[in-house]
């Protein structure tokens, strides 16, 4: 599979586009307007230093060649006309995803495999809205795909095993470590592990069992992990744990969401990308 189309050019979509192009694929970037697509060259300039810093084999020439393999279109039929694979990274709303795939089904060639990058929705919630449920599955990338390079591949009960294998192979070709998920699981492997871990850390903090620094230190030193839970919160950004917990049935997690809002979000401490979250960054 040489031709990839990515739907949605936001945080994750733009990373998947750049990583696939860096790995030699021809990539078409699709978004809902030309104004949004016009922002992509600046995004590539932002990603290039990270590749140069994080990947020993990255060179300015290779990065320029990656950019040259990317084209853009805000016309869906045009964007998918040659696609072997379409990966969708549009906003995490079931109705938007279902509408998007219905529209793609109307214009994509019969050969095209369809994949969603959804973090929380299941492929079986979207597959019936396509004209080819057997060619539909999830390929879930992690933020900062070039270094945190897992791709969780997860089908639904009707996904053709050959399609699953082709998607896993494609993931490998673009520098990912494919993770074969055997059956539908909300949160895949990653978030099934991470969410309870982060919740446990939040509760230790809310009960004032130990300081944020000591909770992180415990995890780092005693397991050899490079980061503790609150350092991970800072990378994820405060908006996600707030959104996940503001209406939680668990009173402690609801209180944690309130704390995040008043002590961090309202003060602009949105996490590492903003220079400050639980910790302050240079
Ligand atoms: P984002 O808001 O940064 O980007 C969404 C993009 O989709 C925007 O460019 C927007 O213009 C575009 N868009 C909106 N409606 C569209 C439509 N109908 N058709 C095509 N494009 C449309 O979102 P994101 O953080 O990149 O998340 C996208 C998907 O990736 C979600 O399903 C999310 O769960 C998943 N994901 C996100 C992360 C993360 O860390 N941000 C990690 C893994 C998976």
Using the predicted structure, report yes or no on whether residue 90 has a pLDDT greater than 90.
yes
**Architecture (CATH level 2) of domain 3-181:** 3-Layer(aba) Sandwich (3.40)
Query: Where are the chain's structural domains?
Result: 3-181, 191-274
How many A from CA of 40 to the centre of ligand 1? 14
Q: Is the pLDDT of residue 110 over 90?
A: yes
Looking at the predicted structure, is the pLDDT value of residue 220 above 90? yes
Cβ within 8 Å of residue 120, ≥6 positions away? 92, 186, 187, 191
Q: Which fold has domain 191-274?
A: 1.10.1040
Substitution candidate for ligand 1 out of 12, 77, 107, 171 with most atoms within 8 A of CB: 12
Residue nearest to atom 8 of ligand 1 (CA): 10
Q: Which residues line ligand 1 (CB under 6 A)?
A: 7-13, 31-32, 36, 89-92, 96, 100, 117-119, 141, 143
Measured distance CA(32)–CA(200) in Å, rounded: 39
Minimum CA distance residue for ligand 1 atom 14: 90
Residues above pLDDT 90, as percent of the chain: 94
With 0-12 CB in 10 A as exposed, 13-18 as middle and 19+ as buried, what is 117?
buried
Quickly state the pLDDT bin for 194 (edges 50, 70, 90).
Answer: very high
Residues 30-81 have pLDDT tens digits of 999 999 999 999 999 999 999 999 999 999 999 999 999 999 999 999 999 9
Distance 7 CA to ligand 1 centre (A): 8
Q: How far is the CA of 212 from the centre of ligand 1 (A)?
A: 31
Phi first, then psi, for residue 248 (nearest 5°) are: -65, 145
Whether the per-residue pLDDT at 236 is higher than 90: the answer is no
Question: CA nearest 86: which of 280, 77, 219, 94?
Answer: 77
Where does the chain have alpha helices with state H?
11-22, 34-37, 40-54, 60-68, 76-80, 94-107, 123-126, 161-173, 190-206, 212-223, 229-236, 239-245, 251-259
Q: What is the pLDDT of residue 201?
A: 98
How many Å lie between the centroid of ligand 1 and the Cα of residue 35? Answer: 16
242 CA distance to ligand 1 centroid (A)?
Answer: 18
pLDDT number for residue 244:
86
């Amino acid at each position: 599979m040489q031709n990839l189309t990515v739907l949605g050019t936001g945080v994750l979509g733009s990373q998947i586009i750049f990583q696939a192009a860096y790995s030699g694929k021809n990539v078409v970037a699709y978004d809902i307007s030309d104004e949004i697509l016009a922002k992509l060259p600046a995004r590539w300039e932002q990603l290039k230093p990270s590749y140069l810093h994080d990947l020993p084999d990255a060179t300015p020439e290779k990065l320029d060649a990656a950019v040259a393999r990317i084209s853009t279109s805000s016309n869906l039929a045009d964007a998918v006309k040659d696609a072997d694979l379409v990966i969708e990274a549009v906003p995490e709303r079931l109705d938007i995803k279902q509408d998007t795939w219905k529209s793609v089904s109307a214009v994509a060639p019969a050969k095209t495999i369809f994949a969603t990058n959804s973090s929380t929705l299941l492929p079986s919630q979207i597959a019936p809205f396509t004209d080819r449920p057997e060619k539909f599955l999830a390929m879930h990338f992690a933020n900062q795909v070039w270094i945190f390079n897992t791709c969780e591949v997860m089908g639904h009960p009707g996904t053709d095993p050959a399609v699953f294998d082709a998607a896993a192979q494609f993931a490998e070709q673009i520098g990912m470590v494919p993770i074969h998920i055997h059956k539908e699981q909300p949160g895949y492997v990653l978030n099934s592990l991470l969410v309870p871990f982060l919740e446990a850390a939040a509760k230790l903090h809310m009960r004032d069992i130990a300081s944020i620094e000591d909770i992180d230190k415990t995890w780092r030193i005693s397991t050899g992990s490079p980061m503790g839970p609150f350092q991970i919160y800072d990378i994820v950004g405060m908006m996600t744990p707030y959104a996940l917990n503001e209406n939680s049935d668990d009173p402690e997690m609801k209180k944690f969401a309130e704390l995040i809002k008043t002590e961090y979000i309202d003060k602009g401490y949105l996490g590492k990308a903003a220079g400050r979250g639980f910790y302050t960054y240079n």
